A and B are shown apart, each in its own frame.
Chain A
Amino acid sequence: NAGVTQTPKFRVLKTGQSMTLLCAQDMNHEYMYWYRQDPGMGLRLIHYSVGEGTTAKGEVPDGYNVSRLKKQNFLLGLESAAPSQTSVYFCASSYGQGGMSNQPQHFGDGTRLSIL
Chain B
Amino acid sequence: RKEVEQDPGPFNVPEGATVAFNCTYSNSASQSFFWYRQDCRKEPKLLMSVYSSGNEDGRFTAQLNRASQYISLLIRDSKLSDSATYLCVVNMYDTGGFKTIFGAGTRLFVKA
Contact = CB atoms under 8 A, between A and B. Distances in A.
Contact of A99 (B45, B98, B102): B98
Given A40-B104, A42-B104, A42-B105, A104 B46 contact: yes
17 contacts: A43-B44, A43-B87, A45-B99, A45-B100, A90-B43, A90-B44, A99-B97, A100-B91, A100-B93, A102-B32, A104-B34, A104-B46, A105-B46, A105-B100, A107-B45, A109-B43, A110-B42
Contacts of B43: 90, 107-110
Contacts, number: 47
B102 A100 contact: no
A28 interface: no
Nearest to A105: B100
B41 to A, nearest CB: 8
Q: From DSSP, what is the main secondary structure of chain A's interface residues? A: loop
Interface of B: 4, 8, 31-32, 34, 42-46, 49, 87, 89, 91, 93, 97-105
Interface in A66-116: 90, 99-102, 104-110
B87 A100 contact: no
Contacts of B44: 43, 90, 107
Closest 3 pairs between A and B when the two form their complex, measured CB to CB = A107-B43, A42-B104, A43-B102
B9 to A, nearest CB: 12
B103 A42 contact: yes
Contacts of B99: 45
Contact of B98 (A35, A100, A107, A110): A100
